Structure 1
Amino acid sequence: MNWFDWIGAFFSDPAHHTGPDAVGHRVLEHLGFAGRALLASAVVAVPLGLVIGYTGRGRVVVTAVAGIARALPTLGLVTLAVLLAGVDERAVFVPLVALAVPPLLVAAVEGVRGTDPEVRDAALGIGLTHRQALLRVCLPAALPTLLAGFRTAAVQVIATATVAAYAGLGGLGRYVVDGLATRDFPTALGGALLVVLLAVAAQLLFALLIRLARPPGARRPGRAHPIEKEST
């Protein structure tokens, strides 16, 4: 049986149409894991990154910590979380947040640092406070780079949320893990394909948002901010 036959068998299986093992249900579970982790990461990383980028304090520490966090094995963190907290959504939530925070934090820092100093000084010169200058001037200028960080984080989290199945939870990883365990290769392939499609959809969505967030004169091809290139 070739891959196309396996994919056809997966999507034609009645068990994947309704009930707890339905494709729609598993997709929503997977997006729930990824969405909650991404939201929590943004609440932590974006304000901190904006402040650090504006003041310049702690940037070296942030870069070092982000590098260390990216090297942490997610499956190892899930295993440790299961041992400490049991089979619970926290066992997946914490590792996914740890995965998403570094690219968001770095993107926020570098996005604000990329703001033209003359524009910032002009904003302060007309009477804006530092907080107003950060929110009204630096944040809009940093938005394309920040969205590039969200794109990186979203793709990584969606791809990695499959580890939820190893903690006894749901999501698309359930197809992959259960399919491999029972040598049901059509199910394993179908689950992996759905994860790839979700990651590609997130990539395209944020690419569109980045394009819309750029000033009109900067939307021509080849004019991407260098920080965006680094974060992809």
Structure 2
Amino acid sequence: MPSQNTDEDKPLYRRVLLKISGEALMGDREYGLDPDMVNRVASEVRSVCEQGVEVCVVIGGGNIFRGVSGATTGMERATADYMGMLATVINCLAMQNALERCAVSTRVQSALHIHAVCEPYIRRRAIRHMEKGRVVIFAAGTGNPFFTTDTAAALRATEMGCDALLKATQVDGVYDSDPLKNKDAQRFDTLSYLDVLSKDLKVMDASAISLARENKIPILVFSIHKHGAFRDVLCGRGRYTKITD
């Protein structure tokens, strides 16, 4: 007899936002995009969409340009941040291409209007796209300098009415220090929003955590490098840290 899906295979959330750092898309490279990594992330998103979950995505731009780094070299911070926003557009277009090659209908919406390559961000249109089963990728952060893509992710998750915000990182959860540098770093299975703020844990910036807390959106932190992790976390399996009240 064919195997039947168990309750463990059922996603716990109906609509989610996936936040991916630009650095995650570098793979083993020192900068830029690794096509293999982009394609693997696209396949993970596809597997989740096939479960009937509505997905939207925010991607950082740190693999191409980081506004904060530009500001430290003497560049005006606002100008550097706008350059960082444009870097996210490049990543979003690459991810859209990879998803559509996987037969996943995808739309890119940018907070900065770039009509030749993507739609402008319109909340109701984005919601309608997801209701039709399309993946929506939000580019250019919030469209304003001095805000990170983490804050953009929390903002879009709130606007889209998402049930959870999933942050894909280089490690399998939140630690009290960098586990790649400190082998004795302590990992947390669960945290409260206030724990993250009071312990000054660097998983997301304070404004993103505060926004998620205010709107009661749980944050799930997991490793982008483990195959199938996105789907596993949505089903409550695997290693991840859950941040909630």
The verdict on a shared fold, with TM-score over 0.5 as the criterion, is: no
Greater relative contact order, per chain length (Cα 8 Å cut-off, separation 6+): 1
Please, what TM-score do these two structures have when normalized by structure 2?
A: 0.28
Instruction: Give the number of the structure whose residues are more often helix, by fraction.
Output: 1
Larger radius of gyration: 1
Please, what TM-score do these two structures have when normalized by structure 1?
A: 0.29
Instruction: Give the number of the structure whose residues are more often strand, by fraction.
Output: 2
